Amino acid sequence: MKSLNNSFDGSFNVEMGDLDLSNTLESLPGLSGSKKLFLGRFNSENLYSMMEKIGLVQHLKSIGFDSLLVDIDVDENRISYMKLYWEERIPAKQLIDIRLSESSFIPDKKYFDNNTKITPYNMIIIEWLSAKNPQKKFDDNKPQLPGQTNPGLGVLKYCFEMLYQMAKEVFKDGFLDIPDHMHGALMYSKKFKFFDPAHEGIIRAVARDLRKYSLSDISWGVITETIIDLTTNKPAIYDPGEQIHYVSDRMKKYFESKKYRTVFMKYYEKKKYFFDYEEMVKRRTKILETKKIEDL
């Protein structure tokens, strides 16, 4: 991954900041006792061992974070919480916040060939995933993204690997997220695909045509409506949908199917995007006269 610059290229190397990348739910008071296991399976020691195995602990130590502390909880909606702290369990020293739930995903039959029997997929749902570096400040090389309050930790690839390991151990088809914003979808696109092949074709076309711009620029382009879909001559619209990282063979088979690949290529080849960068800068300046970037 590229370090600390919020840029991406054709390989989608991006860094995750403390952005809301999913459908966050208000939590209820946690449960106690034996029921308080992450996804009903993992305790704090299990999760720390997993973080060591995938290299996350070593990465955090390399950037100055020793004495890591893991907290887990489960609320009355059966949402599992994992919070990773540095030295003290206080908000100012929280590094990572992951909230997951379990659910079935029943896709629309339009995505399948006629007479295909549609069986629900067993999924881990990403309710919230955030990471922030309390010791860093934003600078010109790492500009602040709309909605972002702290620089990230460069841990997105580790978080994806951790989720993958969890999904295998609890026997799920994969994990699912619905990013609210285009920049969230672009960040996830390194490992995730939209279940809707048209959406996948569009997000990949955006990444292709705007690859010379930073993630911050693209985020502002969406806000200011200065990214133009040349097939319609109108501002590009981000339509949220299910983005999935598959684990099981049967879900992999769907993404490798002829129908999925055909629809994906249709949209990927058809869509073309233009970014009016100078106009974006003007509109961004105007917006920031009355609003704070972390509130957008």
Per-residue pLDDT of 178-187, as tens digits, reads 988 888 899 8
Looking at the predicted structure, is the pLDDT value of residue 107 above 80? Answer: yes
- Tokens at residue 110, please? 């339009």
Asked if residue 81 lies in contact with residue 70, where contact means CB atoms within 8 angstroms, the answer is no
Asked if residue 75 lies in contact with residue 28, where contact means CB atoms within 8 angstroms, the answer is yes
The β-bridge relationship of strands 174-177 and 121-131 is parallel
What residues does each domain of the chain span?
33-196+242-262
Half-sphere exposure of 215 (CA within 13 A, CB side): 32
What's the whole-number average pLDDT of the chain? 85
- Tokens at residue 209, please? 């045509």
- According to CATH, the topology of domain 33-196+242-262 is Aminopeptidase (3.40.630)
In this prediction the pTM is 0.82
3 state SS of 243: strand
Per-residue pLDDT of 159-172, as tens digits, reads 989 988 888 888 89
| Least reliable range by pLDDT among 17-31, 43-57, 136-150, 250-264 | 17-31
If we measure between CA atoms, which residue out of 216, 255, 218 comes closest to residue 17?
216
- Tokens at residue 137, please? 């400040």
pLDDT for residue 35: 54
- C-alpha to C-alpha distance for 31 and 14, rounded to whole angstroms: 36
| Least reliable range by pLDDT among 52-66, 150-164, 216-230 | 150-164
- Tokens at residue 48, please? 């720390």
